[in-house]
A and B are shown apart, each in its own frame.
Chain A
């Protein structure tokens, strides 16, 4: 089983501040990295699918970068709002010829009004 690690496990951020967190994955056999946002009592929702080294994706105030050579991705949230409170999950896909996603345990973000 592949190891996908997310840090920190939890984070409290003042409303209006910017923040970022990390997803680390095996740098060999990389195929794709997914980011999902999971609000309490709801289902995970996709943010980004990233495939290329150096890739940068943006959706509103949320952006992500990818470094496949060193095996990490950063998720950034600019000007945090209360509705950003959620658990952010990353998931790693290898090129082993299957379609198995391995998820990290997530970063739980709480925005303090």
Chain B
């Protein structure tokens, strides 16, 4: 089944304790992205990657790192989490099947990771 998976789905942690949220897709998609969802603010893009070893900042990259060593995986790293990073996080991927990436192709979203930083 074609899908985007994220782990963990739920995480409660404490300030300063490094964590990684994994994202994996089995659709051979070039494009992958991380978003956070906060009440009243809509989905905001954290980082995105247009292909292996190519990453770029979204609108809210502060406090996050990503890597794209393999096409299928795009982990989100919080080196020193803080309470303002408490949020619902989504990973998404997209192909270039119909044309240049997001200009023509929809995104497929993972199930979400609910993170609480105490």
A: residues with CB less than 8 A from B are 1, 31-32, 34, 36, 42-46, 48-49, 51, 89, 91, 93, 98-106
Knowing A43-B112, A45-B109, A98-B56, say if A103 contacts B42 (CB, 8 Å).
Answer: yes
Closest to A90 in B: B42
Query: Are B43 and A34 in contact, CB atoms less than 8 angstroms apart?
Result: no
B: residues with CB less than 8 A from A are 31, 33, 35, 40-45, 48, 50, 56, 58-59, 90, 101-112
Query: Are B110 and A46 in contact, CB atoms less than 8 angstroms apart?
Result: no
Query: Are B112 and A99 in contact, CB atoms less than 8 angstroms apart?
Result: no
Knowing A43-B109, A44-B109, A98-B56, say if A32 contacts B42 (CB, 8 Å).
Answer: no
Measured in the bound complex, the distance between the Cα atoms of B110 and A99 in whole Å is 19
Query: Are B42 and A93 in contact, CB atoms less than 8 angstroms apart?
Result: no
Query: Are A106 and B42 in contact, CB atoms less than 8 angstroms apart?
Result: yes
Knowing A45-B109, A102-B59, say if A34 contacts B104 (CB, 8 Å).
Answer: no
Write out the residue numbers on chain A whose beta carbons fall within 8 Å of the beta carbon of B41: 105
Query: Are B59 and A100 in contact, CB atoms less than 8 angstroms apart?
Result: yes
Write out the residue numbers on chain A whose beta carbons fall within 8 Å of the beta carbon of B35: 103
Measured in the bound complex, the distance between the Cα atoms of B110 and A100 in whole Å is 18
Measured in the bound complex, the distance between the Cα atoms of B74 and A55 in whole Å is 33
Query: Are B104 and A101 in contact, CB atoms less than 8 angstroms apart?
Result: no
Q: A103-B43, A103-B44 are in contact. List 8 more A-B contacts (CB 8 A).
A: A1-B59, A31-B103, A49-B104, A89-B42, A103-B35, A104-B42, A105-B41, A105-B42
* Nearest 8 Cβ contacts at the A-B interface: A46-B106, A43-B109, A105-B42, A103-B43, A103-B42, A32-B103, A44-B109, A99-B102
Most chain-A CB neighbours within 10 Å: which of B101, B109, B110, B111? Answer: B109
Query: Are B58 and A100 in contact, CB atoms less than 8 angstroms apart?
Result: yes
Query: Are B110 and A89 in contact, CB atoms less than 8 angstroms apart?
Result: no
Query: Are A44 and B104 in contact, CB atoms less than 8 angstroms apart?
Result: no
Measured in the bound complex, the distance between the Cα atoms of B108 and A34 in whole Å is 12
**What distance in Å separates the Cβ of A75 from its nearest Cβ neighbour in chain B?**
15
Query: Are A89 and B48 in contact, CB atoms less than 8 angstroms apart?
Result: no
**What distance in Å separates the Cβ of A31 from its nearest Cβ neighbour in chain B?**
6
Query: Are B107 and A34 in contact, CB atoms less than 8 angstroms apart?
Result: yes
Cβ-neighbour of A100 out of B45, B103, B104 (below 8 A): B45
